[in-house]
Amino acid sequence: MPSDEKALRARSALIDARALDPVLLDMRPLTLITDYFLICHGTSNVHIRGLADAVRDALKGESISPFGVEGYDDARWILLDYGDLIVHVFAEEEREFYTLERLWSDAARLPAPTEDERENG
C-alpha cells in the first residue's frame, strides 16, 4: 500500500476512534526516516491504547503490521513504526511537552477530511 494511502487510512481509524486533534505531517521533503508523522492524543490510558489498537486493526486488515511498537504498557506516548508512517499517540501532557508539531513545523500538514468526504469515502 502506498505510504499516503496508509497514512490516510490510519488517520481515518484515529478519527473514528475519537482521537483528539489528529495531525498528519508530510515529512518527505524534510527527512529520510519516514514519509509521514501522524500525531494525536487521547483522554486516558485506556483511550490512548484504544487509539493505537484502532490504527493497528485498520492496517492489519491490509496485512500491514508495525515494525515496532513502543510505550504501549505505560500509554503516555505510544509510537507505532510502520517505516514510511510513524504514528504518535500521546497523553495530552506529553504532547504539550514534546510539541512534535512545533519541532517539525516546516512539515506540511495534510488537511483533515471534511464531514462529506468522511461520509462518502
CATH number for the domain spanning 25: value is: 3.30.460.10
Residue 119 has what pLDDT? 55
Burial letters 10-28, b for 16+ CB under 10 A, else e = bbbbbeebebeebbbbbbe
Give residues with Cβ within 8 angstroms of 9, minimum separation 6: 1, 58, 59, 62
118 in a structural domain = no
- Domain of 86, in residue numbers: 3-111
117 in a structural domain = no
The more confidently predicted of residues 1 and 120 is 1
Question: For residue 20, what are the β-bridge partners?
Answer: 41
Residue 117, pLDDT above cutoff 70: no
* pLDDT tens sequence across 28-62: 999 999 999 999 999 999 999 999 999 999 999 89
79 in a structural domain = yes
pTM: 0.92
Q: Which residue has the cell 493497528?
A: 56
